[in-house]
A and B are shown apart, each in its own frame.
Chain A
Amino acid sequence: MGTEDAPSEPSASDRAGAPVGRRTILGLVGLGAAGVVGGSRVQDLLGRWLGPLEANDPTGLLALFPLGDTFRFYSVTGSVRTETAATYRLSVSGEVAHAATYTLADLQTMPQTHFVKEFQCVTGWRVPDVQWGGVQLSELITRARTSTRAKAVRFRSFDGTYTESLTMAEAMRSDVIVALQMLGKPVTHDHGGPVRMYCASMYGYKSTKWLSAIELTDTEIPGYWETRGYDINGSIG
């Protein structure tokens, strides 16, 4: 090692021929550029044709292919403990007159809102037509009787690390819910259950998984991803 070995000059036959390697590379880069612009539509079509096949594929092999319309599961900590209907608690506190702690059963007896809306990640992946159900956040805030100092909402997760925030105006929107149902059934643990946030008009990072606490605050406090570069305004666009 150490010395540069003598490179042998390619023979005439190796220098002849078309520059197919370069064309292949340029072709792939061109395909990449076109795919960035049009790939979203192609993915929608693929998802519509193959999504039902993938969902009903007994072998599970189709799931190995990135056909789209599939969730990526994010966790920013190690393992997250499992909470059940018996153990789960959601606290509402901070700048409020009536701090409260709710069980899952408490939340289930409140008025439920249902709608169908996509889940959009800021990095680009999305899952269209997800069925959501739960309690409007505004319902819990109204019950808590906020003080005049309350200007924002802070969310905590029982993963022990994740936090998020909304302005009071965002929090009172009718499409911001404390979700108990996702994909037409109770929110699974992997999706952030038994209770997670869903902010329909915002990127996924605004929708805290494994929701444990809602705090009314006098200023909006940047959450986990926002201290790591993401915009505190998570509106999709």
Chain B
Amino acid sequence: MTPLAPPAGSVHRFSASVRAVHWATTVLMLVCMLTAAVLYNGSLALAVGHRRDIELIHVYCGFGLPVPMFVGLVSRAYRLDLGRLNRFTRADWQWLRSRTRRDGTIKVGKFNAGQKLNAALTAGSILVLLGTGLLMYFPDWVRVSWRSGATFLHDWFALGVGLLVLGHINYARKDAEARRGMRAGVVSVAWARGEHEAWAEELGVSSSDQD
């Protein structure tokens, strides 16, 4: 596989496989969230009605939600990004504790510690939502008190994931170049240096390499 050279002044950030996983998950997550609102909120539930249809859309998008993140494992680029997200260095903990984390003093790799934390919390929550959702959808599997527990968890994890997604969208809203990275796969060298200095050094485009 020959990599295409990125446009001048740009560097590759996300492979097509990583972006495909991201956007497939996006669509499934948004449909899950919208249908969840209708299933959970009493006023919406009665205004929209058609519970069976809404439930089926929610359940099947929910079953599908973890699929992209597993299918992605066939891609080497995706596995490498997962490896980066997995590892927390001492600098990551410093970054999380720092009040001036955005000033560049702590050099950030391809992912900052917040992105790593978001990825792990979202992935773990998706698995919990899948498991508890299965128990709710197949009432014959476990006794009623476990189904009550599953519903309780499903509610709280859904709230948590909803907040993570809103936070994620809010950070993306404020950073057009980060969005370009996930849309087109490339980002400007200047952005890479400013937001992910250690990663820019890896790529050989850090300011110290060129000056």
Q: How far is the CA of A165 from the CA of B2 in the complex (A)?
A: 65
How would residues 65 to 109 of chain A score, 1 for a CB under 8 Å from any chain B CB and 0 otherwise?
A: 110100111111111100000000000000000000000000000
- Is B198 in contact with A11, judged by CB distance below 8 angstroms? yes
How would residues 191 to 219 of chain A score, 1 for a CB under 8 Å from any chain B CB and 0 otherwise?
A: 00000000000000000000000000000
- Interface residue? A40 (CB, 8 A): yes
Q: How far is the CA of A73 from the CA of B46 in the complex (A)?
A: 7
* B14 closest partner in A (C-beta): A5
Q: Which residues in chain A, 1-51, are within 8 Å of chain B measured between CB atoms? A: 1-11, 13-22, 24-29, 31-33, 35-40, 42-43
Also in contact, A42 and B152, with CB within 8 A (given A17-B90, A21-B116): yes
Most central of A7, A15, A124 by chain B CB within 10 Å: A124
Q: Which residues of B contact A31 (CB under 8 A)?
A: 128
* B145 closest partner in A (C-beta): A40
- Is B92 in contact with A40, judged by CB distance below 8 angstroms? no
- Is B185 in contact with A14, judged by CB distance below 8 angstroms? no
* A225 closest partner in B (C-beta): B52
- Is A32 in contact with B131, judged by CB distance below 8 angstroms? yes
Q: Which residues of B contact A57 (CB under 8 A)?
A: none
Q: How far is the CA of A78 from the CA of B82 in the complex (A)?
A: 44
Q: Which residues of A contact B90 (CB under 8 A)?
A: 17
- Is B155 in contact with A5, judged by CB distance below 8 angstroms? no
- Interface residue? B120 (CB, 8 A): yes
* A64 closest partner in B (C-beta): B159
Q: How many A-B residue pairs have CB under 8 A?
A: 216
Q: How far is the CA of A230 from the CA of B136 in the complex (A)?
A: 12
- Interface residue? B4 (CB, 8 A): yes
Q: Of B52, B87, B151, which one neighbours A14 at CB under 8 angstroms? A: B87
Please classify the interface of chain B as helix (H, G, I), strand (E, B), loop, or mixed, using the class held by over half of its residues: helix
How would residues 116 to 152 of chain A score, 1 for a CB under 8 Å from any chain B CB and 0 otherwise?
A: 0000101111100000000000000000000000000
- Is A124 in contact with B144, judged by CB distance below 8 angstroms? yes
Q: Of B46, B125, B128, B152, which one neighbours A68 at CB under 8 angstroms? A: B152
Give the A interface residue count (CB, 8 A).
Answer: 63
Q: Of B4, B46, B201, which one neighbours A190 at CB under 8 angstroms? A: B46
- Interface residue? A55 (CB, 8 A): no
Q: Of B42, B83, B131, which one neighbours A72 at CB under 8 angstroms? A: B42
- Is B203 in contact with A8, judged by CB distance below 8 angstroms? yes
- Is A16 in contact with B124, judged by CB distance below 8 angstroms? no
Q: List 28 A-B contacts (CB under 8 A).
A: A1-B16, A3-B16, A4-B75, A4-B76, A5-B4, A6-B3, A8-B202, A15-B83, A20-B92, A20-B116, A21-B123, A25-B123, A27-B124, A28-B121, A28-B124, A28-B128, A29-B128, A35-B128, A36-B131, A36-B135, A40-B145, A43-B152, A80-B49, A123-B136, A124-B136, A124-B144, A124-B149, A125-B151
| 14 other A-B residue contacts (CB within 8 Å) besides A40-B148, A124-B146 | A4-B3, A5-B16, A6-B3, A14-B83, A20-B92, A25-B127, A28-B121, A33-B131, A40-B145, A43-B152, A72-B40, A73-B46, A124-B147, A190-B42
Shortest beta-carbon contacts, A-B, top 5: A39-B149, A28-B124, A66-B155, A124-B147, A6-B3
